[in-house]
Amino acid sequence: MVKPILKDLIINGNPSIYGKLQFLETEDIGDDFHLSGTACIGTEDSIGEDNFDFTIITPKALERELKSDSKIILGMRYFIVNKLDFELITETINEILLKHERETWNEVAESLSPYFLWEYTDSIHLDKDVFFEMIDKHVNKDR
């Protein structure tokens, strides 16, 4: 079984609003914000990780968005919080990951889709032989 683990957590915001682009720890930025999160998830035995994106938003910011042009906001990939709390967000992600062990990495990544947008969602996976054949055809087409 493939067991996903959180290797890093990146939270970004608008520097003109929050005074910085990236948050590295819990900060008091009030109770009205909309931030972007990236959970860097891999396996214990790998050095690599894939990026899984999500939104961190407070009820006030959500209400403001609904009052603007949005008539409905779909709840997938939203973490609705009262304050920016790295520990709570990290704990929540780790709890999610515990429930998503699967046979393959692709199955793990796909099972996380209600919570995160995987960086490879909708990408095309080519077999290496097919890939090299495409390159060979392209290189030799002018000969």
State the pLDDT at residue 87: 95
Residues 6 or more apart in contact with residue 88 via CB below 8 angstroms:
81
Looking at residues 7-11, what average pLDDT do you find?
A: 95
Domain boundaries, the chain: 4-140
State the pLDDT at residue 142: 61
Going by the DSSP 8-state scheme, the letter that residue 2 receives in this structure is B
| More confidently predicted of 122 and 99 | 99
State the pLDDT at residue 118: 93
Kindly report, residue by residue over 10-47, the tens digit of the pLDDT: 999 887 777 778 888 888 888 999 999 999 999 989 99
Burial of 17-54, coded b for 16+ CB within 10 Å and e otherwise, reads: ebeeeebeeebebeeebbbebbbbbbeeeeeebbebbb
State the pLDDT at residue 123: 67
pLDDT at 114 over 80: yes
CB 37 within 8 A of CB 8: no
Phi, psi torsion values for 35, nearest 5 degrees: -120, 160
Kindly report, residue by residue over 63-110, the tens digit of the pLDDT: 988 887 767 877 889 999 999 999 999 999 999 999 999 999 999 999
| More confidently predicted of 105 and 129 | 105
Residues 6 or more apart in contact with residue 118 via CB below 8 angstroms:
50, 51, 52, 109, 110, 112
